[in-house]
Structure formats: structure tokens, C-alpha cells
Amino acid sequence: MPTPLRCESKLFEKDLSSQVIIVTGANSGIGLETSSRLVKQNATVILACRNVEKGEAAAKEVGGVFLAPMDLASLQSVRDFVKTFLEKYDRLDILVNNAGIMACPYGTTKDGFETQIGCNHLGHFLLQQLLTPLLLKTADETGKPSRFISLSSCAAAAMTMGTDSVGVVPKIDFDDLNFEKRDYSPGLAYGQSKLANYLHALEASSRYPADKLISVSCHPGWVRSNLDVHVFKAKVGDGMIGRTLASIARTLFTYKGDMLEVEDGCQASMYCILSDDLESGKFYSQVSTVYVDVPSRMGGFPLTLPNENATSENAKKLWELSEKLVGV
């Protein structure tokens, strides 16, 4: 296993006083770790979480702010969250679209979208659209670009393991985004949603000037968290034995170095938040043995996503479709 990529220590010495940062999915995993680190650097961190109890507990734990629940499976919930935020804050320096679900059974959001494309992409797309005017306004007032960070995954490219679509190169099925005409595949749906996260940031980089908004995507690595619960459930079951086997497997993968602890899993996000050398439109990847493409396993800040479907044409097409679907 390659050595995980890490930020230079000087980046964690930056004083983020006065900066306002929103992190979605911030009550656990790398979202919680990212929020904790940012608070320690004096940022005002808004934890955007679906569950009120968990969101409030996480905010108390790290010293962040929980304003209101935000359920990415409901466009109205996203709109309500943004309304509450804009009533209290007139500044937003960084938006980190961190939340995600992985390889879950078929389901639909409250708006009728397949769950993974709905939560991982469309809910986040609406959030970015509604908050971009404030990101741009903040850039004008501070004299430095705001940032939009979209957490993608190595699953935006072909993977060697982990789902029911091993080795398949993800694509956006523009004719059947919600799996209404084809058999549902948790792995294909996840790969499609993670490619969408990459394309979202790529197109944003072409629509907003980099001196006003830097838009990037990143892969945090295969991180030990609750994200992969459905993958293990499908392979070993959900009973006591299955949960025990899943726990043992995670421990073994971590011991081997394939799976990362959250301290390393947040490095790509933190680099995108803190680095002065960030390039809008680029993809920043932690190391990962799960890439089929061998050179990509070493990661890169930045790295070219090894997917022939990760094109500017597809990014533009997805953006225009997403605008219609979320009603902006």
C-alpha cells in the first residue's frame, strides 16, 4: 500500500478566523474530522446533517454550529436549510459537499429520484446552486476566491473490489438516470453518482471564474467509516455473524493499509480547503489500491481521473439536466 498523501503541516497552522464553512454529512466519519480540524483553526463551521440529534451532538463535540436539519433526499429540505442559513449569515467562504451514501438497495428520494443520484448529486447540486450567489459575494468582499469542494470517489472510475460492478467504468446514463428502464445495480448507481460529483465540480469550474470561485473534486481514500455498510451487508449479511465478519474485514483492510483511518481520510478535503496551490476543475485523490488503473493507486494532488466518460461535454450535459430536475 502506498503511503497516504498528507497536507504539509503549515497548512494546519492557517488562521481561518472570520471564515464561514459549510460541511455536509458532518456528524460522522471524515465530515466530522474535517469539521473538527477547521474549528481548531478558528473557522465558523456549519454542520449540515439530516438527523437533528446527531447533528447537535456533533456540533457540541467539535465546537461547530448546527442550524437546521438538511436531508439531501428532499429538495424542500435543502431549500429550507439554505433559507435558515441565509437568514443568519451574510458570508460563505467554502462549501464542502461531503455527505454520501454507498451501494444501498434500490429506493427513491422524496422527489422521485433514485436514492444515490438523488442524495449524492442532485441534493448537493441544488445546495451549491442556492449558495453560489453568496460564495461569489463573499469573494468580492474579501478579495479572494471562495471554494466549492465536491467529494467524489475512486468509484468514479473502475474499481477492483467493493461493489457488484467490479471493473466497470462508470458513466452517466442520460436516458435512464434513475434506473427506471434497466435492472438496478447498487454498484452502477453509486459509480454514476460519484462520477456526477466529479462532473459537477468540473462544470462549475467552467461557469465561474477561478478568481471568484475555485471548484474542485476529491477522493478521500477508502476510509474506515459507516459508508460501506451496505456493501458488507450484501456480502456477509446483517445478522450478528455478518456484522462481526464485517468488523473483522475492516480491521484487516486497515491493518494492510488498504483502508484508511479518518485522520488520513480527511487529508484530500483539507488540502482542497487550505492549499494555496489549488487549481479549479482539478481532481485531488488520496492513495487507493481500489483503482483498476495501477498508476492512479498512488493518488495525486491533483490526479487525472482514469475515466473516459469524465469529459467536459458530459459535465455540461449533466449540469443542464440537473438544473431541470431540481428546478433552478
Please list the active-site residues. Answer: 190
25: left (phi over 0), alpha (psi -120 to 50) or beta: left
Question: How many angstroms separate the CA atoms of 223 and 303, rounded?
Answer: 19
CB atoms within 10 A of CB 209: 13
Torsion of CA 176, 207, 38, 72, to 10 degrees: -30
Question: How many angstroms separate the CA atoms of 204 and 212, rounded?
Answer: 11
Kindly state the cell numbers that stand for 20: 464561514
Closest CA to 73 of 118, 29, 139: 118
Question: How many angstroms separate the CA atoms of 226 and 31, rounded?
Answer: 12
Kindly state the cell numbers that stand for 302: 491533483
Closest CA to 230 of 119, 148, 69: 119
Closest CA to 252 of 28, 1, 3: 1
C-alpha to C-alpha distances, 228 to 107, 137, 141, 187, 245, nearest whole angstrom: 17, 38, 41, 11, 13
- Contact in structure between 120 and 189 (CB atoms under 8 Å): no
